[in-house]
């Protein structure tokens, strides 16, 4: 029995379920209204430049005193993945300018990278208190909830971020990943599709200034690859569609050849020789599996 694309989440009609349902309806309106992320960016500050290389360890006496130099120092540490040192620098920044939401968000990201999720979420929420329209910090709260496997809460929070920035490809991608983890596969595909429409390179980016790009959980890799193939098929991308179909087959997606023949999104591939070859390999594998084993 192949993996189903039906709605696996059983949302209730009261409490969080009702709120989530209302947000999903609003989200559908956002989707219908639409017409059709390098780590180095983190270190960029307006009018600034990267400081000279710094030691691997930090002591309080080595840190500059002015906010601009401190921020540059912290950003360099983030680029180098010295997250503990970056957190120390950003924490000093929050002491110098306690009402600066940018510094709170950056401190949260450094703590997030250290897997101190509760502290990271606390800093993100402080940033949001200072700036209630800070969509990047709201996205980052959702990323913490996702990491804690609170997928319903993460979905709701991502939808709040999208209400503020409805054309943000990264947040659409993150929302799709949360929907997938919640086994809402068609919603996930729709989010991924719009993320690609907004930014064709969105799934190749490893980071973006101020925004956590959510890593996908490892559950159901075959199903994930199949739905990513559907996503790219809906955009007419032959290369990526074939790559994800191959991955889905290698991961053991059940009845994949039959499913492909039934799905309208894949019909444009029928004239592609590589697609025909892949389908032939699948059919040959099915026939070999179906043959009875001869006892020896």
Give residue-wise pLDDT tens across range 203-255: 876 555 678 776 776 678 999 999 999 999 999 999 999 999 999 999 999 99
Alpha carbons within 13 A on the beta-carbon side of 215: 6
Predicted local distance difference test score (pLDDT) of residue 274: 95
Q: Each residue of 89-135: pLDDT tens digit? A: 999 999 999 999 999 999 999 999 999 999 999 999 999 999 999 99
> Residue 118, class by beta-carbon neighbours within 10 Å (0-12 exposed, 13-18 middle, 19+ buried)?
exposed
By the 8 A CB rule, do 227 and 188 touch? yes
What is the CB neighbour count within 10 angstroms for residue 109? 27
Predicted local distance difference test score (pLDDT) of residue 33: 45
Predicted local distance difference test score (pLDDT) of residue 47: 38
Question: Which position has the higher pLDDT, 292 or 266?
Answer: 266
Predicted local distance difference test score (pLDDT) of residue 18: 54
Predicted local distance difference test score (pLDDT) of residue 206: 58
Confidence of residue 32 (pLDDT cuts 50, 70, 90): very low
Q: Each residue of 78-99: pLDDT tens digit? A: 999 999 999 999 999 999 999 9
Query: DSSP label at 208?
Result: B
Predicted local distance difference test score (pLDDT) of residue 24: 56
Is a pLDDT exceeding 80 seen at residue 294? no
Confidence of residue 287 (pLDDT cuts 50, 70, 90): confident
Cα(199)–Cα(89) distance, rounded to whole angstroms?
33
Q: Each residue of 6-24: pLDDT tens digit? A: 444 444 444 545 545 555 5
By the 8 A CB rule, do 168 and 161 touch? yes
Confidence of residue 39 (pLDDT cuts 50, 70, 90): very low
Cα(82)–Cα(28) distance, rounded to whole angstroms?
40
Confidence of residue 286 (pLDDT cuts 50, 70, 90): confident
Q: Is the C-alpha dihedral spanning 205, 206, 207, 212 positive or negative?
A: positive
* Mean pLDDT value across the chain: 81
- For the chain, give every domain's residue range: 220-291
Q: Which residues pair with 253 in a beta bridge?
A: none
Predicted local distance difference test score (pLDDT) of residue 22: 58
By the 8 A CB rule, do 244 and 238 touch? no
Is a pLDDT exceeding 50 seen at residue 2? no
């Amino acid at each position: 029995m192949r993996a189903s694309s039906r709605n696996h989440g059983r949302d209730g009609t009261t409490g969080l379920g009702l709120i989530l349902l209302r947000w999903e309806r609003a989200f559908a309106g956002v989707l219908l209204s639409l017409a059709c992320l390098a780590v180095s960016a983190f270190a960029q500050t307006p009018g600034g430049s990267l400081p000279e290389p710094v030691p691997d360890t930090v002591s309080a006496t080595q840190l500059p005193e002015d906010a601009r130099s401190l921020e540059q120092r912290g950003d360099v540490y983030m680029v180098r993945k010295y997250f503990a040192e970056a957190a120390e620098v950003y924490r000093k920044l929050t002491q110098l300018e306690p009402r600066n939401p940018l510094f709170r968000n950056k401190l949260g990201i450094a703590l997030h990278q250290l897997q101190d999720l509760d502290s990271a979420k606390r800093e993100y929420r402080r940033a949001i208190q200072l700036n209630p329209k800070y969509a990047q910090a709201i996205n980052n709260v959702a990323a913490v909830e996702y990491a804690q496997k609170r997928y319903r809460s993460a979905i709701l929070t991502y939808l709040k971020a999208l209400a503020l920035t409805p054309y943000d490809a990264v947040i659409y991608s993150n929302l799709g990943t949360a929907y997938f983890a919640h086994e809402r596969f068609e919603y996930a595909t729709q989010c991924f599709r719009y993320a690609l429409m907004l930014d064709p390179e969105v799934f190749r980016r490893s980071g973006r200034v101020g925004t956590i790009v959510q890593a996908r959980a490892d559950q159901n890799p075959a199903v994930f690859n199949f739905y990513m193939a559907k996503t790219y098929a809906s955009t007419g991308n032959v290369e990526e569609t074939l790559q994800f179909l191959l991955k889905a087959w290698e991961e053991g997606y059940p009845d994949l050849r039959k499913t492909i023949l039934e799905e309208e999104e894949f019909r444009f591939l029928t004239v592609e020789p590589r697609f025909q070859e892949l389908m032939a390999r699948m059919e040959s594998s099915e026939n070999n599996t179906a043959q009875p084993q001869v006892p020896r």
